[in-house]
Amino acid sequence: MDGGAVGVRYDAHAAQERWAAFWESDRTFAPLDDGSKERRYVLDMFPYPSGDLHMGHAEAFAMGDVWARYLKLRGYDVMHPIGWDSFGLPAENAAIKRNAHPAEWTYANIETQANSFKRYGLSLDWSRRLHTSDPEYYHWTQWLFLRFRERGLAYRKASWVNWCPNDQTVLANEQVINGECERCGAAVTKRQLTQWFFKVTEYADRLLDDMEQLEAGWPERVLTMQRNWIGRSTGAHVDFAIDGRDEPVTVFTTRPDTLYGATYFVVAPEADLAAEIVTDDQREEFEAYRAKTQQATEIERQATDRPKTGVFLGRYAINPVNGERMPIWAADYVLADYGTGAVMAVPAHDQRDLDFARAFDLPVRKVVDTGEDDPVETGIATTGDGRYVNSDVLNDLSDKESGVAAIIERLEAAGTGKAAITYRLRDWLLSRQRFWGAPIPIIHCATCGEVPVPDDQLPVELPYLTGTDLNPKGTSPLAAASEWVNVSCPTCGGPATRDTDTMDTFVDSSWYFFRYCSPGFKEGPFDPEDVRRWMPVAQYVGGVEHAILHLLYMRFFTKALYDMGMLDFTEPMRRLLNQGQVINEGKSMSKSLGNGVDLGEQIENFGVDAVRLTMIFAGPPEDDIDWADLSPSGSVKFLQRAYRLAADVTSEPGVDPAGGDATLRSTSHRTLADITQCIETQRFNVAVAKIMELVNATRKVIDTGAGPADPAVREAAEFVAITLSLVSPYVAEEMWEQLGHQPSVAATTWPEVDQSLLTIESVTCVIQIKGKIRGRLEVSPTIGEDELRNLALAEESVQRALDGREIAKIIVRAPKLVSIVPA
Ligand code: ANZ
Ligand code: ZN
């Protein structure tokens, strides 16, 4: 089957060495940035240097490279930079274990990964390389922090925070997954600490509303996850007077229309209010309860099947619409950091409240008649629409919308409430009690308070700490570096101390894509002119695990920088592609399962081109791919087959294809049109399948058709080389050279589809039996002889005419004729 000059092969490993060196010295992938071409910025989420590159990186970067190479061939000036997200806990843990400095481990891993990236044939611009742990980079992370602080977007306050008892550090809400530490899986508890926050909540509405700009280019599921995370709830704030307290207490409710059904009042046990209002009689019981809730993890507190617990605080709240006195309880199903930390409980229409009321024998009063069975009897709260009952002014109404509007009007008139919106989104807790991060550039002075480090003293560099100095102690390891900590106050010159916390690494990654536009810029984090030329990013590629963390934070940074006048756009990434995971034998790869696949080994065995081809061909980019189901050796065979086309071509470069085999030309242009469409719509796997078809069609014409000298064969082989270069760049370069071209295929242009050649979609094949026409078939012009023979014999009219007779002779002239002679 497999024709071509026997033994002609490309040597994958030799090609890798050769072309990687060529691209580097030729600076093939450095953008021109001279305005001669339209600019496009293609970006892969930058890696964390945890070790060498793994299969996940290989997939993501292969996807990104399809884009970058494609856009370059389409004539754009493409910027495709690379760098490292090189601060973070794993480096610190490794340093403690090996009694070394985190930088050693970090920068050694970066070098390993950089070499692997180069071997992997990515069209990267190495001149823009950055590491977030370099002082030249974190200088500007600190500078941005100070600018945010000036605008009130960075502030410090005492609050209940998520605490990981294992890593001995605080965590952002986003880093707590089902009540567990995202990093180590330990159950997260709460602690009251003074911490730094970014005021993301100020941008909640814009983060939601600007998603309109992303609808066309971002996956819907990421947008949905962000919407849910921001969690905008509309309802009302209602003020309840408290017996014996001057100030009323406000609750947030989404159902102010059920106000007449409120029968008790609940405060979060750790809310200051609870400790303030509890009566002396109840204090002991309350304090024991509060201590217990602090040990409970978020998972436990939110579990629905968990028995409801709580303590009566001995006090009463007054319902503003009917003056009823309602007992105030502390219960852990109410969270301190949502809404106002206090709720009016309406057991008839809220299941959590009903469960609690039944546990503590509190009254239940129905105020909406939904026609369902009475919640008092069933124990099931009714939440739907219905006629209002027991609700005074609402009793004539029967739908929620008018109920809510009527009660809000009444509350507003009386000055006891108003329409309100609440968000699930919290401010971003950014300080960490760890070493390997950007120090917070603040000095604490007994006289002057918080004093920012003056800009001309940035960066505040990390002191040199190693090994056991870094052991987690509950406070930052930096606190022990007394020479570093003790400074004189920049304002009054008196004795002062540095802030000893470092910034969450998500701060570093919230602005790195701007820095790529201005590598080495000394007057700021980036030159706004550079960013204006290159951004927004045309295509961002990375894992869906960042759907809310990184992808929300970087949107927040962008909006804040826009408000500072440094940008002229509000969304940084036009399009987002989330690649799936590479799994093995149905499961995520992991050390404990022992099912890890080593990227280096795969490359050793099959070569970079075949590994990349296998990744891309495996399925749609966003799907998970199971390495066990794939055949990198099949990819190797295909690549050799493609290569041999180029080796076989005998016509000269530049020959006019016009006189060449018409059907092959039609196939080439149709396939090229399809491939182009597939790339544009991110169906990279289908694009590969089309390239395979074109290889087969060309092979057939070389072996059994017009032959290797036909100019259409050259055209087809060139199409193969160019389109294949997106996925398997080394073989493509080899082909391009075999075809007599100067390097590099990456620097050529994507061929034009000749529309006039697309028309011949099928040809009519005549089936003769003993010279008489017995049937016709519509077939592809490139159909193979075996396939055509089988199709012809399967035709009903042919079967009938043969009537069971044996066949003496069959002549197949694909695609137009099959001639059968029966015995
Ligand atoms: C009375 C009520 C009646 C409520 C009813 C619901 C149904 P979402 O939709 O998630 O925003 N709530 C308010 N603050 C809370 C807190 N800190 N911890 C726990 N629950 C809290 O939820 C808003 C509803 O959750 C609010 O509306 C409040 O209960 C409760 F038939 O108020 B509702
Ligand atoms: Zn001072």
| Cα 629 to Cα 63, 94, 585, 591, 618, distances in angstroms | 19, 35, 8, 20, 9
Nearest CA to ligand 1 atom 14: 339
Query: What spacing in Å lies between the alpha carbon of 354 and ligand 1's midpoint?
Result: 13
For residue 558, the tally of other CB atoms under 10 A from its CB is: 25
Q: What is the DSSP letter of 327?
A: E
619 closest CA partner among 690, 693, 686: 686
258 lines ligand 1 (CB under 6 A): yes
343 lines ligand 1 (CB under 6 A): yes
Query: What spacing in Å lies between the alpha carbon of 234 and ligand 1's midpoint?
Result: 11
Cβ neighbours of residue 814 closer than 8 Å, sequence gap 6 or more:
765, 779, 783, 784, 785, 788
Whole-number pLDDT of residue 6: 52
The H or E element containing residue 89 is: helix 89-98
Nearest CA to ligand 1 atom 25: 253
54 lines ligand 1 (CB under 6 A): no
Cα–Cα distance between 439 and 198 in angstroms, integer?
15
Cα–Cα distance between 5 and 112 in angstroms, integer?
39
Atom of ligand 1 nearest to the CA of 256: 1
Tell whether the model's pLDDT for residue 1 goes beyond 60: no
Cα–Cα distance between 642 and 176 in angstroms, integer?
49
- DSSP H helix total and E strand total for the chain: 27, 34
Ligand nearest to the CA of 264: 1
Percent of the chain with pLDDT over 70: 98
Cα–Cα distance between 810 and 789 in angstroms, integer?
8
351 lines ligand 1 (CB under 6 A): no
Name the residue with tokens 């008649």: 369
Nearest CA to ligand 1 atom 8: 233
Name the residue with tokens 């599921």: 221
pLDDT tens column, 56-79: 999 999 999 999 999 999 999 999
For residues 166-191, average pLDDT? 84
737: which 2 tokens?
A: 């050279």
Tell whether the model's pLDDT for residue 7 goes beyond 80: no
pLDDT tens column, 718-753: 999 999 999 999 999 999 999 999 999 999 999 999
Nearest CA to ligand 1 atom 1: 253
**Helix axes 608-617 and 729-738, enclosed angle (nearest 10):** 120
Cβ neighbours of residue 450 closer than 8 Å, sequence gap 6 or more:
156, 442, 443, 444
198: which 2 tokens?
A: 């970014």
Name the residue with tokens 């609750």: 251
Nearest CA to ligand 1 atom 20: 334
252 lines ligand 1 (CB under 6 A): yes
346 lines ligand 1 (CB under 6 A): yes
338 lines ligand 1 (CB under 6 A): yes
Query: What spacing in Å lies between the alpha carbon of 253 and ligand 1's midpoint?
Result: 5
The per-residue pLDDT of the chain, averaged, comes to: 93
Query: What spacing in Å lies between the alpha carbon of 172 and ligand 1's midpoint?
Result: 23
379: which 2 tokens?
A: 């124990």
Ligand nearest to the CA of 350: 1
360 lines ligand 1 (CB under 6 A): no
For residues 346-367, average pLDDT? 96
| Cα 709 to Cα 112, 626, 666, 712, distances in angstroms | 46, 42, 18, 9
Query: What spacing in Å lies between the alpha carbon of 159 and ligand 2's midpoint?
Result: 25
254 lines ligand 1 (CB under 6 A): yes
Ligand nearest to the CA of 494: 2
Ligand nearest to the CA of 259: 1
255 lines ligand 1 (CB under 6 A): yes
Query: What spacing in Å lies between the alpha carbon of 197 and ligand 2's midpoint?
Result: 23
| Cα 135 to Cα 235, 466, 755, 797, distances in angstroms | 47, 18, 55, 80
Query: What spacing in Å lies between the alpha carbon of 493 and ligand 2's midpoint?
Result: 6
CA Rg value for the chain:
34
Q: Specify the long-range contacts of residues 598-602, CB closer than 8 Å, at least 24 apart.
A: 599/52, 599/53, 599/54, 599/55, 599/57, 599/58, 599/116, 600/52, 600/116, 602/55, 602/632
Cβ neighbours of residue 818 closer than 8 Å, sequence gap 6 or more:
765, 766, 767, 768, 788, 789, 792, 810, 811, 812
Q: Which of 240, 298, 337, 343 to mutate to test the pocket of ligand 1 (most atoms within 8 A of CB)?
A: 343
Amino acid at 507: V
Query: What spacing in Å lies between the alpha carbon of 420 and ligand 1's midpoint?
Result: 13
Query: What spacing in Å lies between the alpha carbon of 459 and ligand 2's midpoint?
Result: 20
158: which 2 tokens?
A: 């005492």
260 lines ligand 1 (CB under 6 A): no
253 closest CA partner among 334, 369, 312: 334
Amino acid at 623: D
Amino acid at 812: V
Tell whether the model's pLDDT for residue 3 goes beyond 50: no
Atom of ligand 1 nearest to the CA of 254: 27
Tell whether the model's pLDDT for residue 783 goes beyond 90: no
Whole-number pLDDT of residue 630: 95
404 lines ligand 1 (CB under 6 A): no
Cβ neighbours of residue 668 closer than 8 Å, sequence gap 6 or more:
694, 697, 698, 712, 715, 716, 719, 757
Whole-number pLDDT of residue 474: 73
- Given CA atoms 637, 639, 640, 641 in this order, what sign does their dihedral have? positive
Q: What angle do CA 811, 816, 819 make, to 5 degrees?
A: 25
631 lines ligand 1 (CB under 6 A): no
Query: What spacing in Å lies between the alpha carbon of 211 and ligand 2's midpoint?
Result: 44
Nearest CA to ligand 1 atom 32: 253
Whole-number pLDDT of residue 337: 82
Q: What angle do CA 482, 484, 490 make, to 5 degrees?
A: 115
Q: Which of 338, 356, 400, 408 to mutate to test the pocket of ligand 1 (most atoms within 8 A of CB)?
A: 338
Of the pLDDT bands very low, low, confident and very high (cuts 50, 70, 90), residue 5 is very low
Of the pLDDT bands very low, low, confident and very high (cuts 50, 70, 90), residue 761 is low
Per mean pLDDT, which range of 8-12, 158-162, 346-350 is the poorest?
158-162
295: which 2 tokens?
A: 């040990």
| Cα 349 to Cα 231, 353, 565, distances in angstroms | 21, 8, 48
For residue 363, the tally of other CB atoms under 10 A from its CB is: 13
- Partners of 495 in beta bridges: 488
Q: What is the DSSP letter of 752?
A: P
651 closest CA partner among 757, 530, 738: 738
Cα–Cα distance between 730 and 578 in angstroms, integer?
26
Cβ neighbours of residue 405 closer than 8 Å, sequence gap 6 or more:
none
Cα–Cα distance between 571 and 403 in angstroms, integer?
38
| Residue 497 burial (C-beta neighbours within 10 Å; 0-12, 13-18, 19+) | middle
Q: What angle do CA 356, 358, 362 make, to 5 degrees?
A: 85
| Residue 469 burial (C-beta neighbours within 10 Å; 0-12, 13-18, 19+) | middle
Q: In three state form, how does the secondary structure of 519-581 look?
A: CCCCCCCCCHHHHHHHCCECEEEEEHHHCCHHHHHHHHHHHHHHHCCCCCCCCCECCEEEECC
Query: What spacing in Å lies between the alpha carbon of 76 and ligand 1's midpoint?
Result: 52
544: which 2 tokens?
A: 């869906």
Cβ neighbours of residue 761 closer than 8 Å, sequence gap 6 or more:
670
735 lines ligand 1 (CB under 6 A): no
Atom of ligand 1 nearest to the CA of 337: 17
Nearest CA to ligand 1 atom 12: 343
Tell whether the model's pLDDT for residue 183 goes beyond 70: yes
253 lines ligand 1 (CB under 6 A): yes
pLDDT tens column, 274-298: 999 999 999 999 999 998 887 776 6
Atom of ligand 1 nearest to the CA of 341: 17
Ligand nearest to the CA of 493: 2
**Helix axes 608-617 and 632-648, enclosed angle (nearest 10):** 110
354: which 2 tokens?
A: 């009903």
671 lines ligand 1 (CB under 6 A): no
72 or 785, which is more confident: 72
Residue 475: helix, strand or coil by DSSP? coil
For residue 159, the tally of other CB atoms under 10 A from its CB is: 17
Query: What spacing in Å lies between the alpha carbon of 350 and ligand 1's midpoint?
Result: 8
Query: What spacing in Å lies between the alpha carbon of 267 and ligand 1's midpoint?
Result: 12
Cβ neighbours of residue 694 closer than 8 Å, sequence gap 6 or more:
667, 668, 671, 716, 719, 720, 723
For residues 530-539, average pLDDT? 98
366 lines ligand 1 (CB under 6 A): no
| Cα 328 to Cα 241, 262, 268, 275, distances in angstroms | 12, 12, 11, 12
